[in-house]
Structure 1
Amino acid sequence: MSGYFIGIDGGGTRCRARLTTSDGRMLGQGLSGPANIQLGLDYSWGNIREAIDRALDQAGLEARIFPECRLGLGLAGVVTEADRQRVAAKAAIFHSVKVATDAHTACLGAFGGRDGAIFIGGTGSVGYAWLSGQSHQVGGWGFALGDEGSGATLGRQALRHALMARDGLIQGSALTERVNRFFSSAGIDLHAWLADSRPTNFGTFAPDVVELAKAGDPLATGIIKTAVRWLETYVQRLKALGAPQVCLLGGVAPHYIPYLSDSVMPFIATAQGDALDGALLMCAGASKGQLNPCNDSAVSA
């Protein structure tokens, strides 16, 4: 197989691109803004192209090689077959394109294409298993109805506690003081902030929750423990589906490891690779033709 592979990992916070030769030699990488297609396909595609262009620049190549490139896209927000087809249509200039959820590519990368499961706790959250050529998704319903254990949910809980402390409904802590100071010190109008905020905005408070929980802050610790209970529920469900092990991925989920129970820890594995590795595996043919039609994760074009 000749030509080039381009792997894309597009999440709610950033988009990463990796350009390699077909035999796996890395040529360049690029980084840009969010590529969750629920933020708008044109907006997301613009960030995907920006990340690809930066990888091309690093490699000293130009967009004229696109007809020689196999493109593997792992994107947050891909839910339906129509979503996948819309994304694939944007990539018509490439030699071929495979579109999947970012969970699918992350799972492929974590286990090198073998059976396994993941829990992604980043800006959003989702559980996902790839077992005997079948995909199984648990959760992933978005910020309004799901995202248990995600950075956005941690941040939302921190803000909720901060407002309750401001109103005298609960006893405040270092966490609530820090969150309230974020708004007061910069003169930010909270109502306007809430009106314009996306999950990524709420997620900006997640590092504060993690940090202060380690320091023993009672409210931060409570938020983390609630998230860990949900994480363990996800792990148990993925085990019940047949997953031999589960990798904890994303910027937030690995911070839960010290809080996990002894019954769950033996099932937690270290990832072999990342979502970009999974996207590149798709370029090479991994998971091709193995997706069940009622719960699939990739489309070829």
Structure 2
Amino acid sequence: MTEKLFLGIDGGGTSCRARLCNGDGQVLGEGLTGIANPRFGLDQACNNILSATRQALQQAGLHEDDMQRMVAGFGLAGINHINDRNAVMQWGFPFASLVMRSDAYTACLGAFDGANGSILIMGTGSCGFWIRDDESGSVGGWGFPISDHASGARLGLDALSYALRAHEGIVPGTPLCSALMAHFDHSPEAIIAWQTHALPRDYGAFAPVIFDHVDKKDSLAIQLLQAAAEDAAAMIRALLDKGVEHCALVGGISGFIRPWLPESLLPYIVEPKGDALSGALIMAREGQ
């Protein structure tokens, strides 16, 4: 009998990661490609998933035909709506089987190694998720710009909005405002032209500039971090209200926001045991 392979996929608004394991849990190969959020293009997202899978196969010394013995677990952003989930499931992946949940679900599963708990993802986007026995659910995570508070994209949007008003003398300017406007040659028209096609990751690209100016004691940067921390704290409290004892902070900007959280929440914050790929692989094994 041909041995099963287990594939974990973590697909978000910036990148797609793949991890391939054998039946013993040994990592055989990994892959990394671009955006895998179907809300921003179904074919692009699914092709990036396949590309990351092929990278993992190549690293493992395996071949394209070996996809047919893969048990796949997908954790994807942008599948909150059933139509988006169905579109991905029906796209035509060549795997032996496929189970799929949100990237928040798999991140929570991995963070607590399948046990009860909650997470707050703070990356390009943001989302809270909790698992308690057979129940689970999300807080936020409805997508940018209507949701995604305490995220890189939200920070970038709020910073640019303020910088544009400062440029016109509506509000006081700061060095951060000047740095942001310089990116657009100090032209409001250039910002408007840019935002017509800008994706969440494009807004999130300004987050490092904000963090750099926090270190320089820029008043706007500090104000933005304080607001993000207040949003994060509200989501953490909502997660703890679901009856879980702990919350793990994950995502690329979580380390910048954590120091700004209220001290009263710190006893409930824990380090994740695993990542979203770990959770996707747990899900694949349970769903086979």
| Category of TM-score, reference length = shorter chain | over 0.9
Identity %, equivalent residues? 39
Tell me the equivalent position of 1:291.
none
**Deviation of the 1:84 alpha carbon:** 2.3
- In 2: Cα distance, 1:159 partner to 1:185 partner: 12
**Deviation of the 1:35 alpha carbon:** 0.3
Q: How many residues align?
A: 287
Tell me the equivalent position of 2:10.
9
**Deviation of the 1:174 alpha carbon:** 1.7
- In 1: Cα distance, 2:138 partner to 2:21 partner: 29
Match of 2:146, SS state, is coil
Whether 1:246 aligns to 2:247 is yes
Q: How does 1:160-239 map to 2 (within 5 A)?
A: 160-184=161-185, 189-239=190-240
2:164–2:188 CA contact under 8 A, matched in 1: no
Counterparts in 2 of 1:22 and 1:186: CA distance versus 1, 3 Å: farther
Match of 2:66, SS state, is helix
Counterparts in 2 of 1:185 and 1:223: CA distance versus 1, 3 Å: closer
- Runs of 4+ in structure 1 off by over 3 angstroms are 185-188
TM-score of the superposed pair, with normalisation by structure 1: 0.91
TM-score of the superposed pair, with normalisation by structure 2: 0.95
Between stretches 94-103 and 178-187, larger displacement belongs to 178-187
- In 2: Cα distance, 1:22 partner to 1:84 partner: 27
Tell me the equivalent position of 1:66.
67
**Deviation of the 1:136 alpha carbon:** 1.2
Tell me the equivalent position of 2:106.
105
Gap regions ≥5 residues in structure 1: 289-299
Tell me the equivalent position of 2:285.
284
Match of 1:112, SS state, is coil
Q: Deviations over 1:187-241 (max 9, x none)?
A: 9922221111111111111111122113211000000100100111111111111
Tell me the equivalent position of 1:132.
133
Q: Deviations over 1:111-142 (max 9, x none)?
A: 00000000111111111001112111111111
Counterparts in 2 of 1:188 and 1:59: CA distance versus 1, 3 Å: farther
Counterparts in 2 of 1:40 and 1:221: CA distance versus 1, 3 Å: same
Whether 1:122 aligns to 2:95 is no
Match of 1:34, SS state, is coil
- In 2: Cα distance, 1:90 partner to 1:65 partner: 19
- In 2: Cα distance, 1:269 partner to 1:181 partner: 39
**Deviation of the 1:251 alpha carbon:** 0.7
Gap regions ≥5 residues in structure 2: none
Match of 2:185, SS state, is helix
Counterparts in 2 of 1:266 and 1:91: CA distance versus 1, 3 Å: farther
1:175–1:220 CA contact under 8 A, matched in 2: yes
**Deviation of the 1:82 alpha carbon:** 3.1
**Deviation of the 1:258 alpha carbon:** 1.0
Q: CA RMSD in A?
A: 1.8
Tell me the equivalent position of 1:24.
25
